[in-house]
Structure 1
Amino acid sequence: MDEVGIIGLGRAGTVMAYLLAEKGYRVKVVRSKSMPGYEAQVKEHRFPVRQLEKIVREVKVLLITTPDRVIGEIVEKLVKLDLSAVKGVLHLSGNHPAAILKPLQAKGLSIGSLHPLQSLAGLEQGLLNLTGSTFTFEGDTELLPWVTALVERLECRLAIAPASFNKSLYHGGASIASNFLVVLAKMGLDCLVKAGLSPGEARQALIPLMQGTLNNLGRLPPEKALTGPIVRNDLVTINSHLEELKQLPHLLPAYQSLGQLTATLAMEAGHLEKMEYRQIVEILENGGFNNGKSDSGHLEGEKETQ
């Protein structure tokens, strides 16, 4: 089933169209901004553009790569067509389950969700990032041989979701780890620029630091990859952060919330004693020392720098 139709040529659709063509799949596309009969070009590859009612007569597998809000509309249109030539339909949404395609099962099609767990910020970055990434599959087992072959040809990993899979929670976790990482980077950049570095210098300084942390996470569990003043119970440094962040008040609540989560992880990992944990949480909640003291009336000895 190497004849594939891609519905939607946004970021995900463009990356998938190019990679499938590179791996020998014969790809045709449905693209709202192109007239049928034209070709859509992605780098050196050109893809025939078809109307929905025509592409379903020419391909074996359909990939829906539209925004999530459009998937239901696509399904409503598909169920009205002759789908006898199509064997399976998959969407690439990270949030919607395969069940959103359920009306197509009544037409005799196998359905599934195949989500690339990767940030696709554009064509070039998507092509660079996708190799080695995980595709999460959920749906009819009849599609597994085709999905497995596709993922292998793309040199990626396949994760098969269990029957009890919570798709929205899965996608929420991915958003925290990916989307919020960008926001954290922007927060860090704001601090470094406010401290006196130029935006370019700040970026050059932070990106290697963040990459080093990701390298640690690639080799160690989170509790062992964790470093910094909270892990070593450095109350003076935590207090100075809180004081100086008053210059950037929009960042202070995030520092306090994330600091408490960091302290919890550090305590659960055995880096902090309960009393140390409570002191840190109190300082974070109060936005600094009470009268220059911790809740016990004195500063505990700081741990060796980590």
Structure 2
Amino acid sequence: MTIGIIGAGKVGTTLGAYLCKNQIAVSGYYSRTYEHAVCAADFTETKAYYDLQAVVDASDTLFIASCDGEIAHVWDCIASYELAGKVICHFSGSLSSYVFSGIEATGASGCSIHPMFAFSDKFKSYEKFSSAYLTMEGQERAVQKMRQLFEGLGHKVCFVRAEDKMKYHAAAALASNYMIGLFQTSLDLLGECGFSEEDGRQLLEPLVKNNVRAMLERPTAEVLTGPVERNDTGTVRKHLNVLQGTNAEDIYRSIGKELLVIAGQKNPKQDYTMLSHLL
């Protein structure tokens, strides 16, 4: 297997460096901005390609590591080349392998691979990539080859249906990006109470760390505590009063409704009707 990488940003550079570190053959990089390809190639000690067809011809497997909005365009560009027998992969969390329209006619096989991993640093993320879980979907031949590759490197590989890819991506966003938004909302409220941002972080740190650790170790129904779980309508009403008219109120109500569902699972004999109407 010889892998050519199209796209030389954080994802492409991380993948190339990780594969080279594990002695997987990488032919090199192509990028619309040639200097970016040179940078990634120099870092991974591979080759920078000025011509897109050249990297396609030099590889039996192609990793399209472009941003989501460019993947279909890249596919359209390479679909006219000789692709018989090649494996084509992209790494978008939201797009499925359906983006490779008409791939059957080319003789290639395609799949999407999404690493549940934060590509935070172009030149350092590869050092921690071995911990990434990967979710795949697509044509059987491509999926099996990529599964064999990444399981051989020690990764846990999961599978999702193409039609569920966007829902899968939304789930990942809620657990990552949206948690940051929720945390910032808490910091803002503490700021309104007179806490500095640094003090707010220190105050919330044990709550956040202990809750995340507990959620990862046990079912959410076992972990849930607080006024919603206790059916404490008085406290919830007071919370809503002080948050009235703010974005924080909308967030509180929205998440509160989900907490009600979990609370009902934990305490099936508890009547949460009043709290449900309040939220």
TM-score (norm 1): 0.81
Instruction: Tell me which amino acid in the other structure corresponds to 2:247.
Output: H
Distance 1:208-1:12 versus aligned 2 partners, 3 A rule:
farther
What does residue 58 of structure 2 align with? 58
Distance 1:68-1:151 versus aligned 2 partners, 3 A rule:
same
Give 1:68-217 correspondences, 5 Å limit: 68-84=68-84, 87-123=86-122, 126-127=125-126, 130-162=129-161, 165-217=163-215
Instruction: Tell me which amino acid in the other structure corresponds to 1:119.
Output: A
What does residue 263 of structure 1 align with? 260
What does residue 235 of structure 1 align with? 233
Q: Compare the two structures and name the one with the higher helix fraction.
A: 2
Shift of 1:35: 4.5
The one-character-per-residue Cα deviations of 1:41-86 (angstroms, maximum 9, x if unpaired) are: 48953332212111011111101111111111111110122335x6
Aligned residues between the structures:
277
Answer 1 or 2: higher relative contact order, Cα 8 Å, separation at least 6: 2
Aligned partners of 1:279, 1:131: CA distance in 2, in Å? 48
Instruction: Tell me which amino acid in the other structure corresponds to 1:226.
Output: L
Contact 1:75 1:104 in 2 (8 A): no
Q: Which runs of 5+ in 2 are unaligned?
A: none
Residue identity over aligned pairs, in percent, reads 25
Shift of 1:145: 4.1
The DSSP-based 3-state class of the residue aligned with 2:5 is strand
The DSSP-based 3-state class of the residue aligned with 2:135 is strand
Contact 1:92 1:116 in 2 (8 A): yes
Shift of 1:157: 0.8
Aligned partners of 2:41, 2:184: CA distance in 1, in Å? 31
TM-score (norm 2): 0.88
Aligned partners of 2:120, 2:264: CA distance in 1, in Å? 36
What does residue 29 of structure 1 align with? 29
Aligned partners of 1:151, 1:179: CA distance in 2, in Å? 26
Output the aligned Cα RMSD: 2.5
Task: Say if 2:253 is the partner of 1:273.
Answer: no
What does residue 283 of structure 1 align with? 278
Contact 2:185 2:248 in 1 (8 A): yes
